[in-house]
Structure 1
Amino acid sequence: MKNFSIEIKWALRFTLLTLAWAIGEKTIGLHDEHIENYAILTNLFAFPAFLFFYLAIREKKKYVYENVMTFRQGFVAGLVMSFIIALLNPLVQIVIYKSITPHFFDTIIAYKVKNKNFPMTVENARLLFNLKTYMIETTFTALSKGLITGAIVSLLLRNKR
């Protein structure tokens, strides 16, 4: 476990970032009065997410690899961090959608049903927008986007082949 202490620390920080981001989205109204902007603006999370991966892998390079890190070493750090984030994700989703914004699914379902450009039936909207679906979707998203981000950051930070 000590070998992965940096990844654990940054995965926990990432988890807190995710919760803070959800609070921010709710605060500015993306979970209710500005729900029409949610699908686009929630993607801005990619910027702080990238920053956290960069800081984590840079720290790993500095303190574990003494500033000499291969792509593979950085990629493994990103992989481990992504896996931990994915493991914590279902709990994060429960906190977000049961505590921070419990009305979110009702609001987005109502919006999607009334949307004139891409209307959905209530049944289809309920199938897509619920806690179980979000838990599954965001867990796999955390893994896939984490792997991609870890690979990009590792390419940026490597200094030997």
Structure 2
Amino acid sequence: MTQERQASLKGNPITLVGPQLQVGDKAPDFTLNKSLVDTVSLADYGGKIKLISVVPSIDTGVCDAQTRRFNEEAAKLGENVAVLTVSVDLPFAQARWCGAAGIDNVVLLSDYKSNEFGQAYGVLIKELRLDMRAIFVIDANDTIQYVEVLGEMTEHPNYEAAVEAVRALQ
């Protein structure tokens, strides 16, 4: 049975598919595209603290601002922290955006092929096949230590709380 819950886009209802992950849960594994052919999984970041910033589309204002903000924060967090941005944008679009924006501390990963990440992390938007804006902080043992899944897609996440959750693990 598929789990579903409601959120909104500019006040209009949308449906999130997948589990509602909680602090203390084991982080689900995933396969995401780094390019059209190269993939990564949770294990590729083993032993590191992971800050996973999920955005619906990198080419929108809030997603752009969110990724730029975490790129700035990533520079201060050190080598033991992997900052990942996940969207369903094609890897080509992600690479183009990173080049234009000068993003070099965040790894952009694409959930475009199967929406596996979105379903496993409970952020897949059923009606749009995009991933809902969310933040997950996962410790070096792959246990979730911080979760924020926004109820309204157009709002910004709590950047300070997410960064503080990472710092508490260092």
Q: What TM-score, normalized by structure 2, do the two folds share?
A: 0.26
Decide which structure has the larger Cα Rg and report it: 1
Q: Which protein is richer in strand relative to its size?
A: 2
Q: Which protein is richer in helix relative to its size?
A: 1
